Structure 1
């Protein structure tokens, strides 16, 4: 990220420099990782719901993911441009405030699902998803580096892996709960199909506001960078950064595309012919398998492989996936 240097002497605490581990703040951050994984995977439930409710073809139905993840790209680009010319915003406002801002933006987007359902407007839903995506982009920017500095430097990767594991756990149980709520519990006979998403996403908005309040009053350590932070392109000057971005783009695109199609695929009369709620349970197997694969990959990289073999392993592992 442009303008982000190494974390210098913190204002409070000093997790990496002193070896102190902040278990309480780390637990709070882990809840946050779980929540955004839990909600993100609901996009895979929204696609078949909106496809049926608005009589969409697959291209238009997949705009759900385009709106959501497009916000990631646009939000990150805006953040990068600001960082390039004015310095890193997170270093000025702090990680804690960055998380709070992200939560409040996501809460606004989630709350907009209610008027979108009342107006039965698919473009309105896409706009709401875009706003949620902007909030999650801010959360990613603030939360990922914050987790790495909540303790000794040599255990930073372990903390991030554990937080991401809870994120994956959220994506695993999300389809089961979301499928039941949207396709069964809140589904009313005679009502428009999109009506069933009103209450769940209004609840998401409430949860995000509560999390923002909790973060506001939580005693979280405040870290700032006292080193000089140079402006400019930053890490993008390194060719490997662009290649890594391309690799992540391809990987996430493949992962999300498969998950987005599973419910409609299994519900097709020519294939499984399953009701959407039943098909959403199989979606949990998909995301659960990815969670297990992440654990296995992390274990192999840290305990089995020699450093010189890790690059070859990553290439082969990615090709198999």
Structure 2
């Protein structure tokens, strides 16, 4: 067992109030990247109408978003080691703002290629924030409460995902022809051009907010890792291996597979509930029910932050995975509004999965925490495989494609019951 490094723990000057201020700033980051990610859920049916795409082509847009995680996550981990958490967070926010502004020319032309490039840039910025913020929250306080802390801050991420469908529904879908007509309506070229330009204002507003947050964080004081800990960690990393930690090795595919489930449900939700045999409503109306899905995830994470303090985190994860498995079976096999509400309910089942898996996976990594975090954020690229579900939807029907999600829930259950048990655990890093 590795002994804690002298000077790595909280110093006398790091009062609890300072940790609370740091937590509040980090919560704003989680809110914003959740908000921006879920705007895609309203953007995808919009782009499907503008560019006349099938399900495979539509989900390919989201795949490009998650490919950015595979490209940017490990370089982000190395960047954080060189410049520190605070500067890395500011860089991430700047990259996101630049990508959001690129959506303006993409809408004006309109250009499918520039849209993909803009979303890729935004996602690279989010990947950097993910690599920095998730492990930072995990060490921002007592190690025995890291799962609870990460679940709680992820609740603010879900708050962003809860508000985003209403924002996107109002500023994008409700202001377009494609968003206010029933599925199957054919739009003219002029209508598609007008619809494309509806995305400019939302992304300009997003870029402004990101710039403001970057300035606030630049002017703030965040707790930093102790210099002694950094020097010791640099030496220890040379003789340690991530592959000796089962909870990480199996946690990486758990994140990957969970993202297939979460993103598949979210991105195909509007298309699913607008089907005649399900709810037969417009895309703008469906965005309201999508808000309920993300609202369930938000409620589940706030509640989970408390529950995980009182019960074993792995067992809590197992319970939520079991619930998600049951309701996804309902969504894949039932019809009418019942199937829609099953899909809404899976938001509650998914609520604690990402933070719980992440916290369990980095448990005991010690000086390998940044690299482990980089691998886990790279695994978010699993969302890129939503294109597989799009292909399944085109080949076997949209509802049948949700059996892929059912299988994903089973792996998360396996991880909770066995794969999350740590091996070769070391003392956790702490903040100075």
Task: Give the TM interval when normalised to the shorter protein.
Answer: 0.7 to 0.9
Match of 1:84 in 2: none
Tell me if 1:265 matches 2:272.
yes
CA contact (8 A) 2:43 2:168 kept: no
2:15 is the counterpart of 1:20: yes
Q: Which residue of 1 aligns with 2:419?
A: none
Residue by residue, what CA displacement relative to the aligned partner does 1:226-272 show, whole Å, maximum 9, x if unpaired? 42322477423434322111111111211110111111122234543
In the aligned structure 2, how far is the partner of 1:204 from the partner of 1:248? 27
Deviation, 1:222, is 3.0
Deviates more, 1:119-128 or 1:131-140: 119-128
Q: Which runs of 5+ in 1 are unaligned?
A: 1-5, 81-87
1:119 is aligned, of 71, 86, 109, to: 109
**Structure 2 counterpart of 1:57:** 54
Q: Distance in 2 between matches of 1:236 and 1:51?
A: 42
Map residues 223-238 of structure 1 onto 2, 5 A cutoff.
223-224=225-226, 225-229=230-234, 230-231=237-238, 234-238=241-245
Uncovered stretches (5+) of structure 2, i.e. residues with no partner: 179-189, 325-432
> Normalising to structure 1: TM-score of the pair?
0.84
In structure 2, what is the equivalent of residue 276 of structure 1?
283
The 8 Å contact of residues 187 and 195 in structure 1, kept in 2 or not, is answered as no
Q: After superposition, what is the alpha-carbon deviation per residue over 1:101-152, rounded to whole angstroms, capped at 9, x for unaligned?
A: 1101111111110111112111211111111111000001111222234444
1:102 matched to which residue of 2? 92
Q: Deviations over 1:49-78 (max 9, x none)?
A: 000110000011112221111111221244
**How many Å separate the matches in 1 of 2:147 and 2:136?**
12
User: What TM-score results when the alignment is normalised by the length of structure 2?
Assistant: 0.64
Instruction: Give the count of matched residue pairs.
Output: 303
Any residues of structure 2 matched to 1:43-192 within 5 Å, and which?
A: 43-79=40-76, 88-185=78-175, 190=191, 191-192=193-194
CA distance in 2, matches of 1:45, 1:90: 32
**Match for residue 211 of structure 1?**
213
Q: Of 247, 253, 258, which aligns to 2:254? A: 247
Structure 1 residues 17 and 232, CA gap change in structure 2 (3 angstroms): farther
Distance 1:118 1:8 in 2: 57
1:31-59 deviations in Å (ceiling 9; x for gaps): 11111111111111111000011000001
| 1:9 counterpart residue number | 7
SS in 2 for 1:222: coil
C-alpha contact (below 8 Å) 2:152/2:301 kept by paired residues: no
Rate the CA distance shift 1:312–1:222 in 2: closer, same or farther, 3 A.
closer
| Aligned equivalents of 1:236, 1:150: Cα separation in 2 | 25
